[in-house]
């Protein structure tokens, strides 16, 4: 084990000079290649393609439940193609539950209900494709679909969905869906078996067709705990492109706020290419205009999928305008793809400030959310965001400039409503040297805080607490960052750095237990994946080229056995920058 003092001196005196050469030779990085729409990602089990921004589309369930028909789906596709929604980015038209007529006893293949989907799913998918849209279809991880179990709205003699789930039929169903031209699979749970999710992912891979996998381990009759991964049952990001994190939404503001809280609790689990699904939208389904705006803005802020759930064929002008608001959609589709986090110092239980860094340097989307029953002023203090001024502020809902402000912005926010703004100021940008004391633009930790040990009495960055020691395998490091996994940090590099280097390992506080996985991402490309790290894993040194990158995302996630004792370090993390 090297001595930390020698290590630092060595770094300062020699490695800086050798940096470019070593980085160009690849160092010790395990590069997994480009990770973006259309590119393979061998770093994540079984996923052929990672979709780096949340999906947008429409789903039949919230409006039609089990009364969906082929005629309805076609007319919805007509509307989306022509009313501005397709142009705004909505692309998946998804048939939810109750389309199944049964399963062919000989071939094992599903077929559609002959009364409601008489022309079959393949023809329906072709129709949707002919409108320039993509086609989504529902299935379940059980023997029955959720309607067959929970919603019971059809005759008892043959409730839809009985015997129609994909459990045990994942491969044949994936192939059937591929043959039909399905682009998006919504896979529900409802008393199913968790094994069906990875089996479906494998089934999709075997077809060779790109199909988005949106899963719901929380549907009615669920047996899972509220935090899907905390018990280590299934590490969802390895298998799904997006996962529901809550029970079913309803068109009530209390439902909206409860899902916001659940998603916030799961923010640290969302790694690049995987999003927390806050359920289909209830915009246009009966809440007030202010509540609809808050709902839509928060789904955008938290990088949820945006699947409209209203009858888009007959929506009001206000609903249409909200669903196609390009500035709000741009927040959801921002390429940095971070989930908004609560600005705790500026927030109370009722009046909250949520922040989401955007890809452009110095920019943040900020939602001032009033959960209470009276209008009230909400203030965001820029120092709490690590944002420097002067700051240009713009209202993203109506496009109004709020002028140039310094230090803070206060807006009066309607009851059960939101003011969504964009702030453009200046960010902490990484500089050459130890990373631990430097300011990040975003952090998320499932429990506890980001604890930073900085050398020579340097203060920890905004949002961090001071760590007493960073000790890995008996070695005490001069600088370091200690977190409870899952936890993530994002820094701005602005193309000025060449190499990131850090030792990694479980902290002494893990007490010999715990299992984690380290990932280093830059601009949503995975540069390094440690594989499983336990207390038996010797200290590893990560060294990756970040040349030309604008952002650095440090991820420590669960080792897929639950998060107990997952206390982990970035030890003497260092950036080489010009």
Q: Give the residue numbers marked as catalytic.
A: 188, 248
Out of 44, 147, 297, 369, point to the residue binding ligand GLA (CB under 6 A). Answer: 147
Largest CA distance in the chain: 79
Please say whether the dihedral angle defined by the alpha carbons of residues 63, 67, 73 and 75, taken in this order, is positive or negative.
negative
C-beta separation of 487 from 446 below 8 A:
yes
C-beta separation of 278 from 564 below 8 A:
no
**CB burial of residue 188 (10 Å; 0-12, 13-18, 19+):** buried
Within a 10 A sphere around the Cβ of 227, how many other Cβ atoms?
Answer: 14
C-beta separation of 518 from 530 below 8 A:
yes
How far apart are alpha carbons 75 and 98 in whole angstroms?
18
Out of 68, 70, 97, 526, point to the residue binding ligand GLA (CB under 6 A). Answer: 97
Site size toward ligand GLA, by CB under 6 A: 12
Minimum distance of ligand GLA from residue 390's CB (angstroms):
45
Cβ closest to ligand GLA, residue 263 vs residue 411: 263
Minimum distance of ligand GLA from residue 276's CB (angstroms):
15
Minimum distance of ligand GLA from residue 65's CB (angstroms):
7
Cβ closest to ligand GLA, residue 282 vs residue 346: 282
The answer to the question of residue 112 lying near ligand GLA (CB under 6 A) is: no
The answer to the question of residue 188 lying near ligand GLA (CB under 6 A) is: yes
Q: Binding marks (x or -) toward ligand GLA, 223..262, rule CB under 6 A? A: -------------------------x--------------
The answer to the question of residue 162 lying near ligand GLA (CB under 6 A) is: no
Contact positions with ligand GLA (CB under 6 A) in 327-386: none
Cβ closest to ligand GLA, residue 70 vs residue 188: 188
Minimum distance of ligand GLA from residue 548's CB (angstroms):
42
CA atoms within 13 A on the CB side of 531: 8
The answer to the question of residue 95 lying near ligand GLA (CB under 6 A) is: no
Give the binding range for ligand GLA (CB under 6 A) out of 13-21, 215-223, 231-239, 390-398.
Answer: 215-223
The answer to the question of residue 282 lying near ligand GLA (CB under 6 A) is: no
Contact positions with ligand GLA (CB under 6 A) in 285-314: none
Give the binding range for ligand GLA (CB under 6 A) out of 41-49, 73-81, 140-148, 399-407.
Answer: 140-148
C-beta separation of 141 from 188 below 8 A:
yes
- Burial annotation 65-84 (CB, 10 A radius, 16+ → b, else e): ebebbbebbbebbbbbbebe
Crossing angle of the two packed helices 170-180 and 196-207, in degrees rounded to 10:
40
How far apart are alpha carbons 144 and 111 in whole angstroms?
14
Q: Which residues contact 261 (CB under 8 A, 6 or more apart)?
A: none
Cβ closest to ligand GLA, residue 97 vs residue 311: 97
Out of 96, 241, 334, 529, point to the residue binding ligand GLA (CB under 6 A). Answer: 96
The answer to the question of residue 137 lying near ligand GLA (CB under 6 A) is: no
The helix (run of H) or strand (run of E) holding residue 290 is helix 289-301
Contact positions with ligand GLA (CB under 6 A) in 446-475: none
Give the binding range for ligand GLA (CB under 6 A) out of 213-221, 303-311, 379-387, 570-578.
Answer: 213-221
Tokens of 413: 């926010």
- Can you tell me which residue has the tokens 């590893």? 540
How far apart are alpha carbons 203 and 196 in whole angstroms?
10
Gap between the terminal Cα atoms of the chain: 30
Minimum distance of ligand GLA from residue 139's CB (angstroms):
10
Q: Which residues contact 564 (CB under 8 A, 6 or more apart)?
A: 513, 514
How far apart are alpha carbons 406 and 388 in whole angstroms?
8
The helix (run of H) or strand (run of E) holding residue 136 is strand 134-140
Cβ closest to ligand GLA, residue 199 vs residue 215: 215
Out of 61, 64, 299, 500, point to the residue binding ligand GLA (CB under 6 A). Answer: 61
The answer to the question of residue 219 lying near ligand GLA (CB under 6 A) is: yes
Cβ closest to ligand GLA, residue 173 vs residue 188: 188
Cβ closest to ligand GLA, residue 151 vs residue 201: 151
Crossing angle of the two packed helices 289-301 and 253-265, in degrees rounded to 10:
10
The answer to the question of residue 422 lying near ligand GLA (CB under 6 A) is: no
Cβ closest to ligand GLA, residue 216 vs residue 565: 216
Within a 10 A sphere around the Cβ of 404, how many other Cβ atoms?
Answer: 12
Out of 220, 342, 415, 455, point to the residue binding ligand GLA (CB under 6 A). Answer: 220
Give the binding range for ligand GLA (CB under 6 A) out of 144-152, 347-355, 551-559, 565-573.
Answer: 144-152
The answer to the question of residue 266 lying near ligand GLA (CB under 6 A) is: no
Out of 94, 176, 216, 515, point to the residue binding ligand GLA (CB under 6 A). Answer: 216
Interaction site with ligand GLA (CB under 6 A): 61, 96-97, 145-147, 151, 188, 216, 219-220, 248
């Amino acid at each position: 084990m090297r001595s930390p003092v020698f290590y630092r001196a060595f770094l300062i005196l020699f490695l800086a000079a050798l940096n470019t050469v070593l980085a160009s030779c690849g160092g010790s990085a395990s590069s997994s290649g480009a990770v973006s729409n259309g590119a393979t990602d061998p770093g994540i089990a079984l996923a052929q393609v990672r979709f780096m921004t949340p999906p947008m589309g429409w789903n039949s369930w919230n409006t039609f439940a089990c009364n969906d028909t082929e005629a309805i789906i076609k007319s919805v596709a007509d509307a989306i193609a022509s009313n501005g929604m397709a142009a705004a980015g909505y692309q998946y038209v998804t048939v939810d539950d109750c389309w199944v007529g049964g399963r062919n006893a000989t071939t094992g293949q599903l077929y559609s209900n002959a009364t409601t989907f008489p022309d079959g799913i393949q023809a329906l998918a072709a129709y949707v494709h002919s409108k320039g849209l993509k086609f989504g279809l529902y299935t379940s991880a059980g023997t029955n679909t959720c309607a067959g179990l929970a919603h019971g709205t059809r005759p008892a003699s043959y409730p839809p969905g009985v015997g129609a789930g994909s459990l045990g039929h994942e491969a044949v169903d994936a192939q059937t869906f591929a043959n039909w031209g399905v682009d998006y699979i919504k896979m529900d749970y409802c008393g199913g078996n968790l094994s069906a999710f990875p089996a479906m992912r494998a089934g999709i891979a075997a077809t060779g067709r790109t199909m988005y996998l949106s899963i719901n381990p929380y549907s009615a009759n669920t047996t899972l705990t509220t935090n899907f991964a905390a018990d280590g049952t299934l590490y969802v990001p390895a298998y799904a492109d997006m996962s529901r994190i809550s029970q079913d939404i309803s068109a009530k503001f209390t439902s909206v706020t409860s899902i916001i809280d659940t998603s916030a609790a799961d923010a640290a689990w969302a790694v690049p290419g995987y999003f927390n699904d806050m359920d289909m939208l209830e915009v246009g389904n009966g809440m007030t205009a202010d509540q609809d705006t808050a709902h839509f803005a928060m789904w955008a802020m938290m990088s949820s999928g945006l699947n409209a759930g209203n009858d888009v064929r007959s929506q009001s002008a206000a609903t249409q305008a909200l669903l196609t608001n390009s500035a709000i959609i741009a927040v959801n589709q921002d390429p940095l793809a971070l989930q908004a986090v609560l600005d705790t110092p500026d927030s109370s239980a009722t009046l909250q400030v949520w922040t989401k860094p955007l890809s452009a340097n110095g920019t943040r989307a900020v939602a001032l959310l009033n959960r209470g029953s009276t209008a009230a002023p909400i203030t965001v203090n820029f120092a709490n965001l690590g944002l420097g001024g002067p700051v240009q502020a713009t209202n993203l809902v109506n496009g109004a400039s709020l002028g140039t402000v310094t230090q803070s912005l206060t807006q009066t926010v309607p009851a059960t409503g939101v003011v969504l703004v964009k702030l453009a100021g200046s960010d902490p940008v990484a500089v050459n040297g130890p990373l631990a004391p430097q300011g990040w633009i975003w952090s998320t930790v499932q429990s506890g805080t980001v604890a930073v040990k900085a050398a020579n009495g340097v203060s920890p960055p905004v949002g961090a607490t001071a760590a007493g020691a960073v000790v890995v395998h008996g070695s005490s490091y001069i600088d370091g960052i200690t977190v409870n996994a899952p936890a993530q940090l994002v820094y701005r590099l602005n193309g000025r750095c060449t190499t990131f280097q850090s030792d990694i390992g479980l902290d002494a506080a893990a007490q010999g237990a715990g299992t984690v996985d380290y990932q280093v991402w830059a601009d949503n490309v995975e540069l390094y994946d440690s594989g499983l790290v336990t207390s038996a894993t010797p200290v590893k040194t990560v060294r990756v080229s970040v040349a030309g990158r604008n952002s650095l995302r440090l991820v420590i996630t669960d080792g897929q056995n639950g998060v107990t004792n997952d206390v982990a370090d970035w030890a003497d993390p260092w950036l080489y920058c010009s």
